A = this chain, B = another copy of it.
């Protein structure tokens, strides 16, 4: 790779020394670096390929970090990082891991926030602008939003407020005609009209909201972009630049097949084949296959996703049962209310979300769903302790969901139990049912579970023993089995092993029974201890003669810490747990 121009760029001001030709060469060099790096490490591929020229042009015109650029989701900030002192993390394979995949104020003075969820940039920019105004500054504040983020309610609240700021706020809409999945919603029809008329369509969402509107028809033409950004720079009122870019620009396959190239696992850019292929069944694929078969026989079943059909296994469902499938775009609030209303009329909605994104929908789970007690089914994926980026933890869904009245929150421990819960949830009509899908490789017993979960909060004693009772919730039931074995081996105790199945309530009868011949109950949960499942058991035994130890994650934000390290830190290995049991029994 020859990087003649990139070698000259160490900070944004270096861009202003380059000729037009050099700027174009820079774009090619950056694209080459990007393709090599992201196909090696994995990451957001299409979104960054689409932002090469626009990022160069922004940093050419604006004076970062005095002028402040906020990237929505910040999954499109790779080029920004390359231009603001972090290019070696992309060029040099040994430094690939030295940066995070999102913006971070701890990484660079050119980054202002740690961001990973969508639709927040305009509100954050409004805050930066207001702080500027009360402090008496005059810098530019730029929010870069697009790639699907405009469908989220927070983005709209931000836009609606931005126009009232009465001062400089520049919103750059990166319109690539895609979300993670194809876009959905009226706004995206309007963007299409605007693209087709080069910004001149009569209906204009942004002008209707009060923005001064600018259109850039080729978001890969650096000179056009520079010209437009120069026009809006130092505006004393809110303006919006709508630019059309191609997601995956410069990589043939990624341009053609945008959805799978949004976020990629490492692959070989010559063959476009993944470097490692996981063709195993997942909980997501098993559930959506089950659901598809069931839905073919029952038109009332409707599957709902919020812009993540692919990772949640819903592509086959979308292809086969178009009328029974709705991807609402990035709009989790809408999705939950939508499902609730459907269920109120005897339809059978099943809505699937990642734990971290369902956080956007707490009030809808409580107000729109639980208070109305409608029998919708919600699937929560990715809930658990992981080594994820700080913005993508699945730690919080148990405190969030299990403490809402009326919701039955279930924790299956294997595939057959999961499918039985799913089936029951769909067919019953009494409760909103949420299922926390295990965040592990599929565990399968091969034996169909024919359970009725209507008898709420009934825990199952899998092994009946004495002295120590182990309650292993959901994906930590396997850890419970390991602890059970080790307790037997090391302490010679035949413990009791319990699969609680329910997160949202406790089995008081069973817990009282345990008092007869147990001294210690331990709870294992794959999530935050605070506000979680184990604490309910501790409260129950509070004034009784039973010792309780709760195992789970400590309340803290961690950023890309290896899972093994977290398990050690939180005492979530059978060795450490058995040590703690020994101490408690002393």
Please report A residues at the B interface, Cβ cutoff 8 Å. 70, 105, 112-117, 120, 123-128, 130-135, 151-164, 184-187, 189-190, 202-205, 207-211, 299-300, 302, 323-324, 326, 328-329, 331, 333-334, 337-347, 349, 359-360, 362-364, 366-368, 370-372, 390-391, 396, 399-400, 402-406, 520, 528-532, 534-536, 538-539, 541-543, 547-550, 555-557, 584
Contacts and interface: CB of A to CB of B under 8 A. Distances in A.
Nearest to A367: B117
B154 A333 contact: yes
A557 B120 contact: no
| Among all A-B residue pairs, the 6 with the closest Cβ atoms | A153-B153, A127-B341, A531-B531, A186-B210, A163-B186, A123-B337
A185 B208 contact: no
Contact of A210 (B189, B331, B371): B189
Q: How many copies does the complex hold?
A: 2
A543 B549 CA distance: 6
Contact of A539 (B70, B120, B134, B534): B534
A126 B340 CA distance: 10
A364 to B, nearest CB: 7
A210 B190 contact: yes
Given A105-B372, A157-B331, A531-B402, A347 B126 contact: no
19 contacts: A113-B368, A113-B372, A117-B363, A124-B340, A128-B341, A131-B341, A131-B342, A133-B323, A135-B346, A153-B155, A154-B333, A154-B364, A160-B185, A161-B328, A163-B186, A362-B362, A370-B557, A405-B555, A535-B536
A569 to B, nearest CB: 14
A368 B123 contact: yes
Contacts of A131: 341-342, 344-347
A391 B371 contact: yes
A334 B370 contact: no
A546 to B, nearest CB: 9
Given A124-B340, A154-B337, A535-B538, 16 more contacts: A105-B344, A127-B345, A127-B349, A131-B344, A131-B347, A132-B345, A158-B337, A159-B186, A160-B329, A161-B184, A161-B329, A161-B338, A187-B208, A359-B366, A366-B396, A520-B543
A362 B400 CA distance: 9
Contacts of A204: 203, 208
Contact of A405 (B539, B549, B556): B556
Nearest to A532: B531
A185 to B, nearest CB: 4
Contacts of A207: 203
Nearest to A298: B134
A130 B342 CA distance: 7
A130 B341 CA distance: 9
Contact of A302 (B130, B156, B364, B396): B130
Contacts of A362: 359-360, 362-363, 400
Nearest to A545: B547
Contacts of A339: 127
Contacts of A302: 130, 134
Contact of A371 (B114, B152, B189): B114
A214 B125 CA distance: 35
Contacts of A300: 134-135
A157 B163 contact: no
A557 B403 CA distance: 11
Contacts of A333: 123, 153-154, 157
A34 to B, nearest CB: 26
Contacts of A105: 344, 372
A324 B164 CA distance: 14
A154 B189 CA distance: 19
A403 to B, nearest CB: 4
A6 to B, nearest CB: 30
